[in-house]
Amino acid sequence: MHNKKYNNKTSNFIQGLRPFSNSIPRGLKKIFKKRGYNFSHIIDNWTKMVGKDISDACYPNSVKIDKDMNNGTLILSVIHGKELEVEYSKMQIIDKINSFFGYNYIVQIKLKIINKKIIKKENSKKVKIMNKKIDNKLGSLQDPALKDGLSKLIRAFNEKNN
């Protein structure tokens, strides 16, 4: 163990090992000090926290917190037409988030209305044409195991996108 005296911190290090906090970039340190990791926990556990109905209608956009790390404001992006549903459940959302963290992290919720993307019928026609082309190419394969595997993959991909 040796001391480093000629930097801004006098610390003890063992054979080149350094604290983890020294390896984190400065920008991330500021975010962690502002409890920015809480926002990532909200995003990761959004459906678990608020339920399927509310999570289908809105999703968290950002969190604004004052300097004392209290009185957080959650900004939700809400699909147009679902505003009333989310407006009436604001207090439930606040209670669920605060109970998840164990302290009063969110005090207020603001809504930001967005338009849901509408898939045009032209795109679905293009997908059908692409599926026919893929089926034709799959028919020309000789290996039955490869053909079966690729058809399962394409079926799963189409189910996920629809």
Phi, psi of 87 (to 5 degrees): -60, -40
> 79 is written with which tokens?
């699909």
pLDDT tens across 60-89, in order?
988 888 777 678 899 999 998 889 999 999
Q: Which residue has the higher pLDDT, 112 or 116?
A: 112
Q: Which residue has the higher pLDDT, 90 or 34?
A: 90
Question: In whole angstroms, how far apart are CA 138 and each of 78, 128, 158, 162?
Answer: 42, 15, 16, 21
Q: Which residue has the higher pLDDT, 44 or 70?
A: 44
Decide yes or no: CATH 3.30.300.20 for domain 34-114: yes
pLDDT score at 34: 56
* 158 in Cβ contact with 131 (< 8 Å): yes
pLDDT score at 122: 52
Stretch 4-26: mean pLDDT, rounded?
A: 62
User: Is residue 9's pLDDT more than 70?
Assistant: no
pLDDT tens across 136-151, in order?
888 888 888 888 888 8
User: Is residue 17's pLDDT more than 70?
Assistant: no
pLDDT score at 149: 85
What span, in angstroms and rounded, lies between the C-alpha atoms of 74 and 145?
51
Mean pLDDT over the full length of the chain: 78
User: Is residue 108's pLDDT more than 90?
Assistant: yes
Stretch 110-129: mean pLDDT, rounded?
A: 69
Residue spans of the domains in the chain: they are 34-114, 121-161
Return the bridge partners of 62, or none: 75
